[in-house]
Structure 1
Amino acid sequence: MTDTLPAARPARPFFQVTGFRFRLSSLIALIAAGLLMEGMLRLGRIPAKWLYLNGPEFFDGRIWIYVGLAILFQALLGLLGIIVMRFALPRADAHLRWPPGRSYAGLALLIGITMGLIMLVADYWPQMLSGGPLNETYPVDPVDSPGWLAALAITGLAEETIFRGLLVGGLVLFLPGRVRAGAFEIPLAGVAVALMFGVAHWQAFVVDPLHMALAQQSYAFAWGLIYVWLMERSRSLLAPIIAHGAGNSTEVGLIMLWTVAAG
């Protein structure tokens, strides 16, 4: 009897797309998702702007109040969209639940802080090299600086509810398939929504320097992939909400500290 060695398993490629089948319904769903994204973001700003402009005198000049109100209204629209989706697409999973197992909250916080550091360097490296002020938009007084940090800390309530919960949750049914790069794997719908997440920051090309606009497009897409990964791993929106808010508030908090240190 001769000994035989078991056949070696073929090595998996580092990057792989599996289970993808393009259908007309996929294209229609992508277009609908893009329109829904833009519509919800714009619609949430309308009542926020009205309340900001017609609110008490304390609101005057405090843009963070408008930003916070817009986030809350957008989050409400996202929740309403998820409710509608549960009736229209019962198989869709928006991950709108408390984590059933490991929450990944600590990892999400660490990821968010790292994101904030990366965004700070990517956005303001010319000013950091010259030693000049980074951003004069964010005040450092004891009223407005906590207001800005609070408004940015809750950004995930709106954007994760809309982008990951509603859009990824629904698109998975119409855009099947998964994308894997090494050990990192997410649904193809998550990649599509990450691209939309980058496009949602298109106004950066109008109001910001070119290097900052390009950086925002790049890391918005990358962060979108990570948020989907956190959502899948935790089976909840909690972790991506934490990471999203921690990233934004970390960057702005560091800008404020830079301003104070620069005198």
Structure 2
Amino acid sequence: MINVVIVALIAFVLERKGIVKINFVWIMVALALIFLYGVALFNGGKWIPLNDYFTDLQWNWGGKIAAILLWVLALFALCLSQKQFKIAEAGFTFKQHHGAMIPSLVVIMFFIVLQLLLSYTLGNGPDYDAEELWYQATMPGLDEEPMFRGVLLYIVSLAIVSSRINLLGAQINVAGLLLVLLFGLIHGLMYNAGEFHFSLMSMSLTGFYGLILLWLRERTGSLVFPILAHNLVNFAGQFV
């Protein structure tokens, strides 16, 4: 939760400087959803014990499926509580913004090449099996994108209200950038066995990847390309 505290403190500093306006009701909703996401991800294997039935499984399928069910429930709750809410506002649409297709495909190709180069430079060579390939080709995008670039982005944008800047054709707000920071911190700052562990490389890299995925989401107005990009990048990185 230290990751969330850091991002929340930055948000309050920005409010004091007049850069954003904070809606505390939506802040509490966002914090609750982030907390539940962590619970689902790390405890989902107990609730959906696929490893008990498929003993060869090594990856967190149960946790990811629980996290997917959480964003489905959160989206359903938004539909029930907000009469004017349309799921397309949170990116749940196949419709793409006009003129977004070609630049988005170019960015995805760049994204994949970047991942291949980094995996080749920093990795220890190919090390995968069929389960890992299936997992990386499906779970990361279906879990993290609808949550971070979908439901959470919509809620945090209501909680932390700001103007938007045009970043290469994508309209980016402060809420989106703070979620990028949170995305990086989740991967780079961890608490385990009574100690904090921080990796600047992991935080910077996943934060930059999060920015690319945010750009795809805002440029297209849809989660289709972020989901595809996330899964393709993770999948391709296993081969080098």
When the two structures are superposed, what TM-score results if normalisation uses the length of structure 2?
Answer: 0.72
Find the aligned partners of 2:225 and 2:65 in 1 and give their Cα distance.
18
Map 1:41-190 → 2, pairs under 5 A: 41-49=38-46, 50-56=48-54, 59-60=55-56, 62-64=57-59, 67-89=60-82, 90-91=84-85, 93-100=89-96, 103=101, 106-107=105-106, 109-120=108-119, 123-124=122-123, 133-134=124-125, 138-139=127-128, 145-154=129-138, 155-175=140-160, 176-180=162-166, 185-190=171-176
For residues 208-243 of structure 1, the C-alpha deviation after alignment (integer angstroms, 9 at most, x for no partner) is xxx993222002111212212111222210100011
2:116 corresponds to which letter in structure 1?
L
Quote the residue 1:23 is aligned against: 21
Aligned in 2, Cα 1:38/1:245: closer, same or farther, shift over 3 Å? farther
Pick aligned residue for 1:248 from 230, 234, 240 = 234
Output the aligned Cα RMSD. 3.4
> Mean alpha-carbon deviation: is it higher for 45-54 or for 241-250?
45-54
> Which consecutive residues of structure 2, in runs of 5 or more, have no partner in the other structure?
1-13
Find the aligned partners of 2:207 and 2:50 in 1 and give their Cα distance.
30
Number of positions where the alignment pairs a residue of Structure 1 with one of Structure 2? 213
Higher Cα Rg, which structure: 1
- For the Cα contact (< 8 Å) 1:68–1:152, is it kept in 2? no
When the two structures are superposed, what TM-score results if normalisation uses the length of structure 1?
Answer: 0.67
Find the aligned partners of 1:150 and 1:179 in 2 and give their Cα distance.
37
Find the aligned partners of 1:34 and 1:221 in 2 and give their Cα distance.
20
> Which consecutive residues of structure 1, in runs of 5 or more, have no partner in the other structure?
1-16, 125-132, 140-144, 255-263
Q: Secondary structure at the match of 1:63?
A: coil
2:146 corresponds to which letter in structure 1?
T
Find the aligned partners of 1:185 and 1:170 in 2 and give their Cα distance.
17
> Mean alpha-carbon deviation: is it higher for 177-186 or for 162-171?
177-186
Deviation of 1:42 after TM superposition, in Å, equals: 2.6
Q: Secondary structure at the match of 2:93?
A: coil
Find the aligned partners of 1:47 and 1:182 in 2 and give their Cα distance.
38
For residues 122-180 of structure 1, the C-alpha deviation after alignment (integer angstroms, 9 at most, x for no partner) is 743xxxxxxxx458xx44xxxxx122111012211100011010111122223222234
